[in-house]
């Protein structure tokens, strides 16, 4: 999923004009990408002279922080407060959840490879 690094965007509007899915709009002089409309064509990466449109991989640390904040939010609930057993159980559940998410991603990649081979031979 492409995203715009606000500080690098100069508001030229080129990406808005070139996006074939009307997924980019301007908000207060900065480009904004609507994830729900984006069809992942990658054109916006190519047309932005400022390199302001960035790739997903750069957001991994930020997404990890967000996941940790999400889990910490659960731990702050009174249900878990001062109860080490319940806290450990929650951590175990959340680890299983992320293992499941990893499996889903791995299986999806496998299926995409199978699909590409069947459709295009490579």
| Interface residues toward ligand SF4, by CB under 6 A | 2, 4, 9-15, 19, 21, 23-24, 31, 33, 38-44, 47-48, 50, 52-53
What is the smallest separation between the CB atom of 23 and ligand SF4, expressed in angstroms? Answer: 4
Complex with ligand SF4: residue 22 or 101, whichever CB lies closer: 22
> 30 has which bridge partners?
27
Cα 44 off chain centre by? 17
Please list, residue by residue across 92-119, b when 16 or more beta carbons sit within 10 angstroms of its beta carbon and e when fewer do.
Answer: eebeeeeeeeeeeeeeeeeeeeeeeeee
Phi, psi at 50, each rounded to 5°? -95, -5
CB of 52 to ligand SF4, least distance (A): 4
**Least distance in angstroms from the C-beta of 110 to ligand SF4:** 24
Q: Which is nearer to ligand SF4, 26 or 75 (CB)?
A: 26
Residue whose CB is less far from ligand SF4, 56 or 76: 56
The torsion angle over the Cα atoms of residues 87, 92, 93 and 97, rounded to 10 degrees, is 140
């Amino acid at each position: 999923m492409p995203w715009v690094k606000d500080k690098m965007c100069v508001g030229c509007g080129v990406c808005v004009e070139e996006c074939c899915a009307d997924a980019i709009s301007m908000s207060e002089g900065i480009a904004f990408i609507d994830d729900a409309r984006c069809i992942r064509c990658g054109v916006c990466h190519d047309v932005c002279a400022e390199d302001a449109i960035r790739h997903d991989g750069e957001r991994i640390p930020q997404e990890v922080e967000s996941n940790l904040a999400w889990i910490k939010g659960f731990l702050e609930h009174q249900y878990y407060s001062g109860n080490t057993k319940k806290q450990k159980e929650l951590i175990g559940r959340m680890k299983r959840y992320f293992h499941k998410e990893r499996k889903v991603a791995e299986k999806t990649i496998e299926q995409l490879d199978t699909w590409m081979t069947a459709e295009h031979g490579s």
